[in-house]
Amino acid sequence: MATKVIVKENSNIENALKDFRRKLQRDQIFKEVKKRKRHMTRKERLEQKKRVR
């Protein structure tokens, strides 16, 4: 999945970055990154497995 922002010749790069961030938020990519970034300890993994069962 790719998120694209087209920067016009006369537009400002800051505005393009804002548009890019809005698109990421709309696609909920930030939530996914935070979820995957979180490191789980061994104890947390075992507790999670017990909850799933």
Beta carbons of 23 and 5 less than 8 angstroms apart: yes
Task: Quote the distance between the C-alpha of residue 2 and its chain's center.
Answer: 12
- In angstroms, rounded to a whole number, what is the distance separating the alpha carbons of residues 2 and 10? 24
Beta carbons of 23 and 6 less than 8 angstroms apart: no
For residue 7, what pLDDT is reported?
86
- In angstroms, rounded to a whole number, what is the distance separating the alpha carbons of residues 41 and 47? 10
Q: 1-52, pLDDT tens digit by residue?
A: 677 888 888 888 899 899 988 888 888 887 877 777 777 889 988 998 898 8
For residue 18, what pLDDT is reported?
92
pTM of the model: 0.50
For residue 1, what pLDDT is reported?
63
